[in-house]
A and B are shown apart, each in its own frame.
Chain A
Amino acid sequence: MSQQKVQFRLSGDTILKILLEAAALFIIGLIVALTVELYHIAAPSIYKFGLAFLIRREWNVNKNEFGALPFIYGTLLTSAIAIIIGFPISLGVAIFISEKLKSHQTIGYSLGTIVDLLAAVPSVVYGLWGLFVLVPLLREYVESPLHYYLGFIPLFSGHPEGFDFFSAGFILAIMIIPTMSAVSRDVLNAVPNSQREAMYSLGATDWEVTQKSVLPYARSGIFGGFILGLGRALGETMAVVMVIGNIPNITANLFSSGYTLSSLIANEFGESTGLYESSIIEIALILFAVALLVNVAARFLLWRMSRGMEVKV
């Protein structure tokens, strides 16, 4: 009798464990299947163009000539603009909330919640807003003055079109602020108070405490947040496809229309067939690889940060 009970107990545990393992395996299976399926469909393009696909500039449907360079360039350039504009702002917000408002936790929490709302706006709504509000605004009040006064710098030399790299990078900056500032905020909050107190006791000002003892301590965590933001910028589709103009270009001129990996997929995959289709899937594979790299790096940094917290003093 009791033997039977033990038997039953074991099987209950085993069943649960098998079910849960199946769920965990599903996630690994998903990434494996994704890679295999994309590779399978992209194969014709991979065999035809080889590694040169990455550095080919031509994208001509009629001649069946495809290359990824303009799209890689567009993705990297818009993400760089987003980071240059978005990162200092995110860090500033994080410092304000976790350092300046340290003694006013409720206000800090509310402000954090409000900034987080930026992440709740769907990307297609960013696109809609970008198309009808941001693009005309930037063209009129930012791009035109920059072109007028600083036109001798190659970056600003082109005639402002509005639908260009700059607008896309700008809208991405807004979209990644909540991600980067939320991670930085958490990391700064995790810095032990003894770090700050030691500096204050030496007579440091608020900024010196932040600069010399809080930021260095939180460095790798902030960098992790930075890379998560970068990952979001690299992969973003809808907002970019609606404001970047969708013309493949490689130029230092920020006021020129461009194209990115993901906006190419959104814009052209629907009508593609044959080699054209497999080239677009290969573009998706490149995006996949870049995202994988960036996310793995970010997770590693954040993981190292959380490990280091308990040991380092």
Chain B
Amino acid sequence: MTKSNLTASISIRRKIVNVSMTILVLVAVVLALVPLVLILGVVFMKGAPAISLDFLTQAPTAPNFPGGGIAPAIEGSFVMVGLATLISVPIGVGAGIFFSEWSTSRLSTVSGFMNDVLTGFPTMVIGLFVFILIVLTAKTYSAFAGGVALSFIMTPIIARTTSESLKLVPTTLREASMALGVPRWKTVLRIVLGTGKNGLLTGILLAIARASGETAPLLFTAATSTLFIKNLMQPTASMTVLIYYYALSSVPSWISQAWGAALLLILIMLALNLLVKLTIGRNPTKARMEM
């Protein structure tokens, strides 16, 4: 009421500026949404025809031979992301608990800062690091190296989301537990972790989503292959690296399969994001979403 009375009396120039800024802001929203629609639309249109039972279950055929699929790449992606999850969850959750429960210690401050820096790091550099660390030593590209590279990307994400969600656990809960004579380690593991476990889960899902979409750290660690995995110390295909090589090949059937793999990957990402939203929805203390 009072506001509309006031706007009636302001000058034309100020009104025009106000309206045109509103329009500009709206244009910005539209400009941000157009690429999203274009990307999702094109990937669905070009990817859907490529997906079939063979596509999901068969190994690749030679160029321009009909049939064949990307099954080894799907398997490789799952194995490497799984391996990375196994490595990064204990370390990430551990570091996250330390950042939140021992937040006054100097180690916590320094490591927490390094952790944040690592979150925004060029993943290509992490790939090269693991190449030097593992591939040069083992003298072969491997699923193991790929998994380790992905785990270095997942660990800081898990650590940060863990500490953020544990910081939201009320201090009174910790105090109540300690007052009952429960030792600190039990308080941390049972009470604090138990209360913050939804946030933890969110962080792990976010990290898995991030790792599933990574290509650069796998290029020189897992490389690629057309075979199914026999052991962890051999070159291994992944969906993302396959998209890269197939997209740059000039083989029409491969390019079509690249779109199929892109669609599959986007569907996995959307599912993971939906899962994240659902876990946050159940958690009243909404965890921070930062990819």
Chain A residues with a Cβ under 8 A of chain B: 9, 12-13, 15-17, 19-28, 30-31, 33-34, 37-38, 40-41, 88-93, 95-96, 100, 111, 113-129, 131-133, 174, 177-179, 181-182, 200, 203, 205-208, 210-211, 228, 231-232, 234-238, 242, 262, 265-266, 269-270, 281, 284, 287-288, 291-292, 294-296, 298-299
Tally of contacts, chain A with chain B, CB under 8 A: 269
Which of the 9-residue segments B61-69, B167-175, B227-235, B259-267 touches chain A?
A: B259-267
List the A residue with the shortest CB-CB distance to B241. Answer: A124
Residues of B170-213 whose CB lies within 8 A of A: 183-186, 188-189, 209, 212-213
Q: Are A16 and B189 in contact (CB under 8 A)?
A: yes
A181 to B91, CA, bound (A): 30
Tally chain B residues at the interface, Cβ within 8 Å.
Answer: 97
Q: Are B128 and A237 in contact (CB under 8 A)?
A: no
A129 to B212, CA, bound (A): 18
Extra 17 A-B pairs, beta carbons < 8 Å, given A93-B32, A121-B213, A122-B212: A16-B185, A20-B102, A24-B94, A25-B107, A30-B155, A111-B29, A124-B247, A125-B266, A133-B38, A178-B291, A200-B3, A203-B9, A207-B22, A266-B216, A284-B128, A287-B122, A287-B124
A200 to B18, CA, bound (A): 13
Of the residues A27, A37, A132, A238, contact of B133 by C-beta under 8 Å: A37
Of the residues A25, A95, A131, A208, contact of B14 by C-beta under 8 Å: A208
**B138 in the interface (beta carbon within 8 A):** no
Q: Are A100 and B98 in contact (CB under 8 A)?
A: no
Of the residues B42, B186, B215, contact of A124 by C-beta under 8 Å: B215
Residues of B1-51 whose CB lies within 8 A of A: 3, 6-7, 9-10, 14-15, 17-18, 21-22, 24-29, 31-33, 35-36, 38-39, 42-43
Name the prevailing secondary structure of the B interface residues.
helix
A287 to B240, CA, bound (A): 23
Q: Which chain B positions have C-beta within 8 A of A238?
A: 215-216, 240, 244
Q: Which chain A positions have C-beta within 8 A of B52?
A: none
Q: Which chain A positions have C-beta within 8 A of B24?
A: 92
Of the residues A21, A117, A127, contact of B244 by C-beta under 8 Å: A127
Q: Are A119 and B240 in contact (CB under 8 A)?
A: no
Q: Which chain B positions have C-beta within 8 A of A41?
A: 132
